[in-house]
Amino acid sequence: MPPERRTIRIDLNRVEGDMEVRLELEGQTVTDAWCVGTMFRGFEQILVGRDPGDALVITPRICGICTTSQLYAAASALETAYQAPIAPNGTRIRNLCLMAESVMSDARHTFLMFTPDFCNAAYQEHPQYPRVMELFEPPFRGRLAAETVESTKRILAIVIAFGGQWPHSTYMMPGGVTCALDGTQLAECDAAIEEYAQWYERSVLGCSCEEWLSLQSAEDFEAWLELPAHRESALGVFTRFGRSIGLPGLGAGSPHLLSAGCYYDPERWQPPFSERPCLHPGGFYDGERGVIEPFRQELVSEHLRYAKLVDPGAPRHPWDSETLPDATENEAYSYAKATRYGEHVVQLGPLADLVLAGDPLIRSLFDVEGPTTGLRQFTRLHRPVATLAAMRETVSALRADIDEPTFLRSEPRPDGDGFGAINAARGTLGHWVRIRDGKIANYQVITPTAWNGSPRDDAGRRGHWEESFVGLEIKDLDNPVELFHIVRSHDACLVCTVHLATTRGAPQREFTFG
Amino acid sequence: MTDERPKTAAPTLLWIACGACSGESMAILGAEGRGRRGDTLPGFLAEHDVELLWHPSLSLESPRQTAALIDRIIAGEQALTLLCVEGSIIHGPNGSGRFDTFEGRPKRDLVAALCARADYVLAMGSCAAFGGIPAAPPNPSESTGLQFTNKRPGGLLSSEWRSRAGLPVVNLSACPVDATTMIETMSALVQGRTLELDAVGRPSTQKPCLSDPLERRCRTADKVGYACYGCIGPKFPLSRPLFRHREVDARAA
């Protein structure tokens, strides 16, 4: 008898926002998938016609977790449109605050959103379950969960020192940052970084940051894992439990990776902005050919065939893109546009950022296992160590130039096209602005989640998440924990993505559970 | 209305997010720094022995399991002390509410049904209080606040609506509202202390944030060099630019 074919809809939480996944199954195996965001606010329509400076206030409100990234991207978009010179200390302060947000996000995502699924009832009989519960039990009961709240609230003191509040403060503007710089702030930053690093060493790594940074390959990591202090750290338990439940074999998705680079170089990021000099390079990793090419923003295109929007008939670059709802009943199933890089479906995120930056440990592990669920999340445990070191360097650079300005004044131009790309915690975030007669004529935000969670494109190719679910075997359809692991390894931020996306997906003939 | 709910000593909290950015969810996990206390949500839950029924970003249970919990609350089988709503109430497209669904149902309908069962309803942030940024012109999602639409009384709930404990929606109007304000307000409510609300439902626990309309002497704008609509108060500016840069003297304290 052939296996039963059916379609199910699964709503998900702990994705920052709301998300629906529709799966077609043959027996217990997923044969097709559609991802839909389920809430719409319409930021782009709100921005059109307003003063360009309003983007600095409005775009951070797209998302409460990556608010600093949105602000930075908006400031960059305006600066490139205006060709405004930027004070190097302004870039340093921006980078420092962005780094603090990234460090906070990696911990909060890992220990408040990802590891709770290790505590799923499906694993009750697993020999490591008591240990997993002791460390990760939600909400806030596991030791790491509780400690994460305490530690991450303190690293945010860095953003508060310059911006006054987190999330949502508008301390970046074209030319630099609005706040002055003094020794007291830098001392607060030093203290916050030290305290966080000590917690991270003690609770997460089980070794010093220095020792962790000395690991350069998959072999180094396996040797590191042999020591009891390392095996029993949060990272050790994460790795061993994750391997035992199959995370390294799950949900690879698209083999192609994309990153626009991480952290602008304060000395070199200036008009005419024809290059993007970053502290860590970006690029496009062609997963089929195994080569890295430079990132070219002209290759970003939006496909509207499966979007419930007026379809111009061919993919368009964000500067030329429009968002006009089209309620015609056809094959379209989402208000989200399918974003593509040239002809490729791409994957964005910390893994993409670090592979393209040439991080030796991550590149080595990536060559062994590919872009899997396990490695995506492992990257979030690994990345903060290097970020903390970069934060110390940035504070030193600020201290050395403490009397230099944090802001350079220049005249905004009434017309210009701008593009700001920033490494949010979830991957490259892009803002494209078109300014005409001193007003916003067009504003497009493409978030990393919009790339990853996109619907099918004009050629009918699935987006990265949709691709990552195909072939998945789900043991218990009432409790699809394997799906939960894959989804949460993507670190979806649906509030970001659905700023101009909505629901109503195909397939129409379906039954829902529960 | 007879209260047939099982008597429970421990207060309960349900958090639901609508047209939201998760700003208050992130803020209530705490953000320390100069001039800020270290209040956090887990600290509040422990101190007042409050049971967290569900939070979309933090709880283990899936939306399907939560739908069952919500149905029990609506049926009167599960007591609900604090209903915390984050984000604007979305009524689009064309009044259907289908721009924001939960398990296939318009979220605004679930929120309305939950409000009828909660002892207290808190609007966590300007979006839930007044509509906030999503309700800015042209309001593409047809957003309102819980009990106000920008400055106009009436939103999802009429201006006459009162919760089971006799209060209107408690409006914490800021963007986002900080952890201390949210926690002090909830603490006052679970302890049965009286909260004074102003003409737009804001309690006395609300401190000024960055925007000067609430408190001209907070001086935060002088310290950080800008005055933006941190509170995004009841009235969202239509024709004025939102961002105001203030030159900060590098030598000032």
Query: Of the candidates B114, B111, B143, which has an alpha carbon nearest to the alpha carbon of residue B130?
Result: B143
Which backbone phi and psi does A237 adopt, to 5 degrees?
A: -65, -40
pLDDT in tens, B33-76: 877 788 999 999 999 999 999 998 888 888 788 889 999 999 99
Contact A444, A317 (CB under 8 A): no
Instruction: Count the Cβ atoms, other than its own, within 10 Å of residue A301.
Output: 21
Instruction: Count the Cβ atoms, other than its own, within 10 Å of residue A130.
Output: 10
Can you tell me the distance from the alpha carbon of A160 to that of A167, in angstroms, rounded to the nearest whole number?
9
Optimal mutation site among A39, A117, A478, A500, interface B, most CBs of chain B within 10 A: A39
pLDDT at A13 over 70: yes
Instruction: Count the Cβ atoms, other than its own, within 10 Å of residue B130.
Output: 30
Contact B200, B234 (CB under 8 A): yes
Return the pLDDT at A4. Answer: 82
Spatial neighbors of B216 by CB under 8 A, at least 6 apart, are none
pLDDT at A458 over 90: no
> Count of A–B CB contacts within 8 Å?
237
Strand partners, A303: A338
Q: Which residues of B touch A116 (CB under 8 A)?
A: 60
Smallest Cβ–Cβ distance between B133 and the set A13, A46, A173 belongs to A46
Please state the rounded mean pLDDT for residues A429-457: 93
pLDDT in tens, A266-313: 999 999 998 899 999 999 999 999 999 999 989 998 887 776 666 777
Rounded to two decimals, what is the model's pTM? 0.92
Contact A297, A421 (CB under 8 A): yes
Q: What angle do CA A444, A449, A452 make, to 5 degrees?
A: 110
Interface check for A153 against chain B (CB to CB < 8 A): the answer is yes
Spatial neighbors of A94 by CB under 8 A, at least 6 apart, are A72, A75, A172, A177, A264
pLDDT-derived band at B225 (thresholds 50, 70, 90) equals low
pLDDT at B147 over 90: yes
Query: Of the candidates B7, B14, B83, B18, which has an alpha carbon nearest to the alpha carbon of residue B53?
Result: B14
pLDDT at A120 over 90: yes
Q: In sequence order, which ranges of A173-322 are alpha helices (DSSP H)? A: 183-199, 209-213, 218-225, 228-231, 234-244
Q: Which residues of B touch A112 (CB under 8 A)?
A: 29, 57-58
Contact A455, A333 (CB under 8 A): yes
Q: Which residues of A touch B230 (CB under 8 A)?
A: 165, 168-169
Interface check for A336 against chain B (CB to CB < 8 A): the answer is no
- For chain A, the first-to-last Cα distance in angstroms comes to 27
Helix, strand, or coil (residue A291) = strand
Please state the rounded mean pLDDT for residues A180-209: 96
Lowest-pLDDT choice from A34-38, A233-237, B29-33 = A34-38
pLDDT at B221 over 90: no
Q: What angle do CA A56, B227, A193 make, to 5 degrees?
A: 70
Q: How far is B72 from chain A (nearest CA, A)?
A: 14
Query: Of the candidates A166, A110, A160, which has an alpha carbon nearest to the alpha carbon of residue A135?
Result: A110
Return the pLDDT at A96. Answer: 98
